[in-house]
Amino acid sequence: MIPLSWYLLLSAALFCIGLYGVLARRNAIAILMGVELMLNAVNINLVAFWRYLTPDRSVGLVWATFVLTVAAAEAAVGLALVISVYRNRDSVIAEELDTLKN
């Protein structure tokens, strides 16, 4: 007997923690971790709505699986970029990668 709103609150809290990580961390890898937390929060929402509103259809599960797929692709490309940047610039601090600024 868990109300839907509890899951939504959990998801909102997880999303905001992830958001804080993305905005506040210096290290690019830590920023990626924040993004992963946010994607997880979104997925909790999708699955909760699926179970509470349309358990007889597969739409929620299907989109949650797509989010999972995209998260995997995002992590692979994101980390490859981080490693490539690290090779060229010797830094993974997001603030220091400001060549385009000047």
Site for another protein in 78-97 (CB under 8 A): 79-84, 86-87, 90-95
Rg (CA), the chain: 17
Q: How many residues bind another protein (CB under 8 A)?
A: 74
Q: Which amino acid is at 54?
A: T
When asked if residue 16 is in the footprint of another protein (CB under 8 A), the reply is yes
Q: How far is the CB of 102 from another protein (least distance, A)?
A: 18
CA–CA distance, 39 with 47 (Å, rounded to integer): 12
DSSP letter for 4, please.
H
Closer residue to another protein (CB): 55 or 100: 55
